[in-house]
Structure 1
Amino acid sequence: MDPILSNDATDLRRLMTTGALSAEDLMAATLDQIATVNGTANAIVSLRPEDALLDEARACDQTPKDRPLSGLPIAVKDLANVAGLPTSMGSPLFAGQVAHASDIMVQRMQDAGAIVIGKTNTPEFGLGSHTYNPVHGATQNAILPGMSAGGSSGGAAVALALNMVSIADGSDMMGSLRNPAGWNGVYGMRPTWGLVPSEPVGDTFLHQLSTNGPMARTPRDLALLLSVQSGADPRQPHGLPRFELEQNLEVDIKGARIGWLADWGGAYLMEEGVINHCEAELTRFGVAGAIIEPVAPPMSAAEIWEAWTTLRSWSVASGLETLYAQEKTRAHLKPAAIWEIERGRKLSAMEVQRASVIRSNWFKAAHELFQSYDALVLPSAQCWPFPIDWDWPKEIAGQSMDTYHRWMEVVIPVSLIGLPSVAVPLRPKPRPMGLQLFGPRGSDLKLLRLAQIWHQAL
């Protein structure tokens, strides 16, 4: 590997701004690295032709590199549209269909100077935390060959971990920016819901579970990319102002209070060794001066699960119902998608209302908890990376999983109420795992600063 690729995006930008590195040389090194490692990893798909990418990099070198992402190669998650590239969503129904325009988030990255080199692999329709699909195949864990990369932003996480890109976008409904970050030794950030806009298509009021966000190898690169992705879209009702890039993430956290939720009082089944590894690594914040305290479950996990599965199925059904309605297209949907759609179609308005009331009660309970703690912490997954040829783990700690996503239940307290969260990696011994740091709405900067302390210690 060319040593230049070990730099993070912030340093690469500095080198290009000072003339110590050209966009063309960076692109050439990037393409060489992809040629070396991607055949096995299968993280980047729909790679653009080499000549076109080098020409675009040379053109970048002929202009001032004064934009936030000028000259940086990036591959976009294959759920988002990039003008001129296929958006398969991992589904045979959309394989080969070329996007006519870029999505809002993608266009912002392009306007900031990033050069889109291709797409990153994802599960079919982003459903499930294991990156495999019938169009592009499975993505292999960057640390453990033959194991799952997690998902649904698994391709992005592996591309980062193997130095194929320095920054990556992703999306997160049920841990998709957090689980693969922990499993591949990088950082993933689910921003405060509304900070990074979705597309102004269909309903823009009701569904508040999923968001786009950044992935990177350092917290300062998360901040860099978030500053580009974020900012309200005037066509949507719940947008938030742009995240202003904060150069100084290094602050003293002495006296900060961090609450450790562990396995939610035993409600979240954990594979042997996960909790012990997380607790041993969590002491890193204590060394930096923070106060770490165990926290009792603030609300029933069963209630949170009920609200989540109701609102998720309702959301998935609303997005995929037209494909289900036609027998010809329904035959190409994977079982998890059909299960979600059929559950969502059966829901009554009052069942959705009950789920939203539970969500509201959890938001109030979390607010009260944040009066005492600067951040809360959970593991980023309930099990270690599993074999790549599995669909999903059928049991944890000897207990059967009753849905395709129950093994990722640990991420839903954050997702259900739109809280910001940064996933930080642990040392991959015995196996790769991560922690979710999360806080109240709008605490994105505070979480990035905690992540920076973690990164320095790591």
Structure 2
Amino acid sequence: MVDHLTEATARELVAGQQRGDFSAREVLAAHLDRIDRDNPTVNAIVTLDREGAERAAAAADEEAVRRRAAGLPLAPLHGVPIAFKDTHATAGLRTTYGSPLHADNVPTADDEVVRRIQDAGAVRTGKTNVPEFAAGSHTFNEVFGPTHNPYAVGRTAGGSSGGAAAALAARFQPIADGSDMGGSLRNPASMCNVVGLRPTPGRIAEPTTGVAFTPLAVSGPMGRTVDDTALLLSVMSGPHRHDPMSMHGEHPSADAVTAADLRGLRVAWAPTLGDRVAMERQVLDVLDPAVKVFTELGADVEHACLDLDGSDDAFRVLRAAEFDLMWGDRLAAEPDAFKADIVWNINEGRKSSGRDVMRAFAELTRLQRAAHDFFDDYDVLLAPVSQVAAFPVEQIWPTDIDGIPQHTYLDWMRASYLFTPLGVPAISVPAGFTPDGLPVGLQIITRARTESTLLGIAAAFEAATGHGRVAPRLPEVHS
């Protein structure tokens, strides 16, 4: 029963409870058993709320009895276990942001995405690990240590949603919440053989953000399948009166995703983003045959890349300015309060003038218009998610990619973050494995506000390849 329930998708778990095949308590017990067995090795879940989860599962079972008796459907995520990213506030449960400054922080209210997911019936099991303040695409911090990749213990799970991605891959939960500024959903999804969607800014409301008008950071869904990712997106999406940039109107449906017919699809393939990024050869060796799948499914594929000129500077200026706004005063008062990479990024923000920031916003405007025009000619763009495969957990970040130096903790993340300023949705889907068994994801990108179309295309690729169905084989832990 443990293996059966922990391998099931979120949609299968809800359907099984609707039929009465098993209970929310049985679902929870199976996932807790898996966590107890494998989390000491993976370190994906860093705060476990066992008693709270058991109470929530019992309440879910009572609700299921009432709904079945009345002939009513269960909530979209009824009884589905989920540990939330440790940068998303959870009422009554420690939220550390991966920082010693907040090691004992217990919020009094849930973040909006947490509230929406729990209101949809999910059972909170705990929190997933993050880098300090979610800065960087390798998940380690001084509070909890590093998260290991379930497919290669001793290697990174990516980040900043690394704990979330590892929890999915290790079968601790079928869905996960994440966030993404420079690839924090996409990079860990690629490295852990799961799905991660960065939605269009505004698709998911961010009512507690300090700066509502920058489109860099978004929340987003993760899952082991495209369909579960879409299901979670439907729950997370929607406007909020405290987020003036959040979208009103129609949002993605909770219905099952139908794989798109790719015949005649106009596909651009940018393996090095127009010679803008260094790539490990082993990553491209996985992606080249993955792209051929689109041709085999009837798509028209050609090498092309949208306009990314100026994207690097715009992203870095706005990111640094935001870091300085959030933490500059704290750094001035406590010079040892942050890890070195955050200190560097804050100091970069201090150097920026008002003109620099407004020039970056002007560049965003131009880039987003150019992206809109690009998708008049192409339906989707395919690109790498990460420029490297999972590296050793002891390494803070890759300093070299095939002989090309990477000078900062951001350099090796360009394949993801260069798309961030364009305001378009991007999804990472499992695309295969290196000869050493390290997962590699394919990034699929399309026009702003067309997540439903993107999900259908991703589902077609997923169905044709099946890489996401390959589970990790974690080493046994002997007491």
TM-score by length of 2: 0.92
Contact 2:283 2:434 in 1 (8 A): no
1:107 aligns with 2:122: no
- Superposition CA RMSD, Å: 1.4
Aligned with residue 139 of structure 2, among 123, 131, 137: 131
Distance 1:378 1:308, change over 3 A: same
Matched residue type, 2:372: H
Contact 2:52 2:125 in 1 (8 A): no
The worse-fitting range, judged by mean Cα deviation, of 256-265 and 121-130 is: 256-265
Q: Distance in 2 between the 1:129 and 1:52 partners?
A: 30
Tell me which residue corresponds to 2:439: 432
Distance 1:365 1:349, change over 3 A: same
1:118 aligns with 2:106: no
Q: Distance in 1 between the 2:276 and 2:424 partners?
A: 21
Instruction: Give the 5 Å matches for 1:415-430.
Output: 415-430=420-435
Q: Distance in 2 between the 1:381 and 1:426 partners?
A: 12
Matched residue type, 1:284: V
Task: Provide structure 1 residue ranges, at least 5 long, that are not aligned to the other structure.
Answer: none
SS at match of 2:364: helix
Q: Distance in 1 between the 2:38 and 2:124 partners?
A: 19
1:366 aligns with 2:375: no
Identity of aligned residues (%): 38
Matched residue type, 2:189: A
Aligned with residue 236 of structure 2, among 207, 229, 233: 229
Q: Distance in 1 between the 2:15 and 2:306 partners?
A: 45
Q: Distance in 2 between the 1:96 and 1:318 partners?
A: 24
Tell me which residue corresponds to 2:40: 39
Contact 1:299 1:365 in 2 (8 A): no
- How far residue 341 of structure 1 moved from its aligned partner, in angstroms, is 1.0
Matched residue type, 1:171: S
- How far residue 346 of structure 1 moved from its aligned partner, in angstroms, is 2.1
Tell me which residue corresponds to 1:285: 294
Q: Distance in 2 between the 1:204 and 1:55 partners?
A: 36
Distance 1:199 1:372, change over 3 A: same
Contact 1:257 1:373 in 2 (8 A): yes
Matched residue type, 1:97: N
Contact 1:260 1:376 in 2 (8 A): yes
- How far residue 361 of structure 1 moved from its aligned partner, in angstroms, is 1.9
- How far residue 321 of structure 1 moved from its aligned partner, in angstroms, is 2.4
Q: Distance in 2 between the 1:346 and 1:185 partners?
A: 39
- 1:176-200 Cα offsets, whole Å, 9 max, x none, are 1101111111000001110111133
Contact 1:195 1:243 in 2 (8 A): no
Matched residue type, 1:265: G
- How far residue 298 of structure 1 moved from its aligned partner, in angstroms, is 3.0
SS at match of 2:222: strand
Contact 1:263 1:275 in 2 (8 A): no
Tell me which residue corresponds to 1:60: 60
SS at match of 2:197: strand
1:97 aligns with 2:105: yes
Aligned with residue 295 of structure 1, among 300, 304, 314: 304
- How far residue 248 of structure 1 moved from its aligned partner, in angstroms, is 4.2
Tell me which residue corresponds to 2:25: 24
- For these two proteins, the number of residue pairs brought into alignment is 452
SS at match of 1:76: strand
- How far residue 296 of structure 1 moved from its aligned partner, in angstroms, is 4.6
The worse-fitting range, judged by mean Cα deviation, of 207-216 and 284-293 is: 284-293
Tell me which residue corresponds to 1:345: 350
Q: Distance in 2 between the 1:248 and 1:332 partners?
A: 45
Matched residue type, 1:424: V
SS at match of 2:373: helix
- 1:51-82 Cα offsets, whole Å, 9 max, x none, are 44223212210113621111111000000001
Tell me which residue corresponds to 2:187: 179
Q: Distance in 2 between the 1:166 and 1:102 partners?
A: 21
Distance 1:85 1:364, change over 3 A: same
Contact 2:306 2:371 in 1 (8 A): no
Task: Provide structure 2 residue ranges, at least 5 long, that are not aligned to the other structure.
Answer: 68-73, 466-479
SS at match of 2:100: coil
TM-score by length of 1: 0.96
The worse-fitting range, judged by mean Cα deviation, of 115-124 and 316-325 is: 316-325
Q: Distance in 1 between the 2:199 and 2:463 partners?
A: 22
Matched residue type, 1:350: R
1:265 aligns with 2:280: no
- How far residue 325 of structure 1 moved from its aligned partner, in angstroms, is 3.0
Contact 1:108 1:229 in 2 (8 A): yes
Matched residue type, 1:30: H
Distance 1:59 1:203, change over 3 A: same
Tell me which residue corresponds to 2:415: 410
Contact 2:169 2:224 in 1 (8 A): yes
The worse-fitting range, judged by mean Cα deviation, of 36-45 and 342-351 is: 342-351
The worse-fitting range, judged by mean Cα deviation, of 182-191 and 251-260 is: 251-260
Q: Distance in 1 between the 2:403 and 2:84 partners?
A: 38
- 1:83-102 Cα offsets, whole Å, 9 max, x none, are 01111000000001101000
Matched residue type, 1:366: A
